[in-house]
Structure 1
Amino acid sequence: MSNIVKKDGYSYSFDVDACSTCKGRCCTGESGYIYVTMTEIENISKLLNLEVKDFAQEYLFKKLYKYSIKENKFGESYECVFYDRESNGCKIYEARPLQCKTFPFWDYFKQRVDELKLECPGVIDV
């Protein structure tokens, strides 16, 4: 049985089980920003057993007044530095940022469901 998530205000649902069928399209593709708060930075640092300063230097860059997780370039695609190609998963899943936890329920996609469906095989019309 599928694990279907629904959120008020969204015209679609999300089948969590579909994550195993794609190659991390929400973690790969076009370059973008994965913004993190100070609390998230501290939680990820703790998970990785790194000092915040060392974590920030290795894995973050500043975009205006926010911090974002770095990306790696793989061919023509970009991917989050914490995306693990071998397991098709996230190396920091337990401490992943809220931005990652809330995908695909982002305000941006409320009016762009067709675009979202191209990225995420778990998106289902309600």
Structure 2
Amino acid sequence: MKKSTLLTQPGYPFAFDPSACDTCGGHCCNGESGNIWVTRREMEALAEALGMDVPSFAEESLKKVGYRYSIRERCEGQNYACLLFDGKKGGCSVYDARPAQCRSFPFWDYFRERPDEAVAECPGVILDGRPGPSA
């Protein structure tokens, strides 16, 4: 019998199947505009994954919001996509180095109280046996 790969977090009314990321097409990387916060350590990991130095990465890929840094977005029609999203491959160009905010998706406080929105956004979210949208 195959071991379940479903992830759960205390206080969240859903489970997450990370294998859905392979076929989803980046639902969590596209959509409404928002911030993808990064720490200095994450900047270093992202720059290394892209073969860049941190100052060059920061200049090309980050925006300062108050005292914090966020990954820039690009406008795609009426939606926005993370600058590091690779539309041709349908996924994150730096998946193994992605920031903690991305790694923790869909277990965000926002979705704790809105599980139906998590299901609508992500094919890996399973609420009462109901998976999210197909790719």
**Same-fold call, TM cutoff 0.5:** yes
Tell me what 1:96 maps to.
98
Would you say how many aligned residue pairs link Structure 1 and Structure 2? 126
> Superposed, which structure 2 residues align to 1:108-119 within 5 Å?
108-119=110-121
Shift of 1:20: 3.3
Structure number having the greater strand percentage: 1
Name segments (4+ residues, structure 1) moved above 2 Å.
17-23
TM-score by length of 1: 0.92
Tell me what 1:59 maps to.
61
Tell me what 1:3 maps to.
5
Q: Which amino acid aligns with 1:26?
A: C
Shift of 1:97: 0.2
Shift of 1:117: 1.4
Q: CA RMSD in A?
A: 1.4
Identity %: 48
Equivalent of residue 84 in structure 2, options 43, 60, 82:
82
Equivalent of residue 40 in structure 1, options 22, 39, 42:
42
Q: Which runs of 5+ in 2 are unaligned?
A: 129-135
Aligned-partner Cα distance in 2 for 1:92–1:121: 21
Shift of 1:29: 0.5
Q: Which amino acid aligns with 1:52?
A: V
Q: Which amino acid aligns with 2:27?
A: R
Q: Which amino acid aligns with 2:53?
A: E
Deviations 1:14-68 (CA, angstroms, capped at 9, x unpaired): 1222223432110001111000000000111112221211110000000111100
Question: Contact (CA 8 Å) 2:119, 2:127: kept in 1 or not?
Answer: no
Tell me what 1:121 maps to.
123
Aligned-partner Cα distance in 2 for 1:113–1:107: 10
